[in-house]
Structure 1
Amino acid sequence: MDKPIEIDLHGILRSRLPRNVGRIVPGFLISGLERLIRQKELNEMLRAAFPARGSAFARKILEHLGVTVEVKGLENLEGHRRLMFASNHPLGGLDGIALIAVLGERYGDDGIRFLVNDMLMNVEPLRDMFIPVNKYGRQGRDRTRAIKEALESEMHILQFPAGLVSRLQPDGTISDLEWQKSFVAKSIESRRDVVPVKFEGMNSMVFYRTAKWRKKLGLKVNVEQALLPGELCKAGGKRFRIIFGKPISWEKLKAREENPRNLAAALRKMAYSLE
């Protein structure tokens, strides 16, 4: 890659919309969307991180934003091989970037792989560290094989078992949705000990209220997703904390002979109890 990637929402929409539709979409509407996703700031960020890749790219993004990440519990990982890191997902972007920066520095970029929504494969500087997962449909044969090979490898695996960003709960707290049971089954099948991870941080209340009203109105389109790039930009200068718990052996999980959904809920609770 001889130049930094650049987000061009205007070009993307004009190229993907049918020609007759593209002509009638007003320019001010596209400009408004560009401001909403903070396109200018995102492109400045991408230029500042260029030409770094992988965890070096992640660290450059944190540096550009002036974000401080405090890490606790790394000593719990000593002497453990082939770990499955299961983290809550409070931010929707910066949490993943910070985890890649921390774990990439510890294990090297060839030592970790991140199971992610396939849309994130568009983030080219991080692509080599990602294993794409299709959230909304069946996995293609190549992707199924890639996931299987990663799980069978010596690399550590990182994922957000909730799949979606944390939401405002009825009791007023902000936390993940239910953790998907598949990560427990994958951990046991691949004989990987599970490390519960707690990432302390939150988005703005605008994000949570938008998600809440979208759900109340019965809208299926995840409109709050468009706010996440802006939330990344708003994180500038903030401090976050990552806490790594003690690995839970796959043998112990298997011996409990519980429904994977119950085990996933127990691990979620364990992550949130970390101090």
Structure 2
Amino acid sequence: MQHEIIKTAEVQKSMKLPLWLTKWVMKVTKIKDLNKLYDSCYPAAGIDLMNAALDYNKTNPVFSEEEMAKIPQEGAFITVSNHPFGLLDGIMIIAVIGRKRKDYKVIANYLLSMMEPLKDCFISVDPFEGKNRKSGMGAFQRSLQRIEAGHPIGIFPAGEVATTYDGNKEVTDRPWSLSSMRLIKKANVPVIPIHFGGYNSPLFHFLGKIHPMLRTVAIPSEFFKKSHQDVRFSIGDPIPAEVIQNMDKPDEIRTFLRSKVFELEKKK
């Protein structure tokens, strides 16, 4: 029997489709292939599964030992990153930072929280924050609790995968959430900017124009399109907590941190 990381019954319930159509959707969106990946890696879970998934897909994160040395061996910190892929960036950041900090967790959307073997790596939140504020506040509090206990966390402040927004032809992160900036200010710990090089395929962005849900279900397919590829993983210098504390407004923090992340793109 195949071990499923995204169960057919859960997809059917989420999308409210008949079983035959659910199976077809899972095939064309590569969710079926994602389940094959998991079956081949079973019983790996958590960080081990992240690394096994990258090995299976032959996707290689490219970074230097000098960059890796910027990750503290102990104590809390927060990473902030762009969000170009949806699944690959979540897997990759856990795999890379987890090499040094096995207690690192990332605030992530429901797609990853559906995957039981990965739950210990993520702090789950609904990406459509306005529709589920209770979920968002729960993630905020759980994140602060981990930080107060001395553990690091990761944030994708865009909340959704990079695409073309508001008629702009350039693929980019959506405006970063101010709630993420409030969390960073409240946490009062060092912040480490991280930048992923690359974007999803043109088809991904086209599907999103038809309906946002089509973009979401295409995310597993985009993961497999990065097979046999290198992905630049740039780690910036830690930003001392005092620098953030000297900023009064969340929007000021957002502008500053976003610039620090995208500056890394120019240094590749």
TM-score scaled by length of structure 1 = 0.83
Larger Rg computed on CA atoms: 1
Other-structure match for 1:272: 262
Mark the CA change 1:147 to 1:86 in structure 2 (over 3 Å): closer, same or farther.
Answer: same
Distance in 1, matches of 2:60 and 2:225, equals 14
Larger displacement relative to structure 2 (226-235 or 83-92) = 226-235
From 201, 226, 232, the equivalent of 1:241 is 232
Deviation of 1:6 (Å): 4.6
Q: What is the count of residue pairs matched by the alignment?
A: 258
Matched residue type, 1:42: L
Other-structure match for 1:165: 161
Distance in 1, matches of 2:12 and 2:25, equals 13
Distance in 2, matches of 1:26 and 1:195, equals 44
Mark the CA change 1:8 to 1:94 in structure 2 (over 3 Å): closer, same or farther.
Answer: same
1:263 matches 2:260: no
Within a 5 Å distance, the mapping from 1:47-58 to structure 2 comes to 47-58=39-50
Within a 5 Å distance, the mapping from 1:186-265 to structure 2 comes to 186-211=183-208, 213-214=209-210, 221-257=212-248, 259-265=249-255
Deviation of 1:16 (Å): 7.2
SS at match of 1:168: coil
Other-structure match for 2:75: 81
Within a 5 Å distance, the mapping from 1:115-134 to structure 2 comes to 115-134=107-126
Alignment RMSD: 2.6
TM-score scaled by length of structure 2 = 0.85
Q: Which runs of 5+ in 1 are unaligned?
A: none
SS at match of 2:133: coil
1:138 matches 2:126: no
1:104 matches 2:98: yes
Larger displacement relative to structure 2 (234-243 or 166-175) = 166-175
Other-structure match for 1:34: 26
Deviation of 1:143 (Å): 5.2
Mark the CA change 1:158 to 1:143 in structure 2 (over 3 Å): closer, same or farther.
Answer: closer
Mark the CA change 1:8 to 1:113 in structure 2 (over 3 Å): closer, same or farther.
Answer: closer
1:150 matches 2:130: no
Deviation of 1:191 (Å): 1.5
Deviation of 1:3 (Å): 7.8
Q: Which runs of 5+ in 2 are unaligned?
A: none
Deviation of 1:65 (Å): 0.4
Matched residue type, 2:132: G
Deviation of 1:267 (Å): 0.8
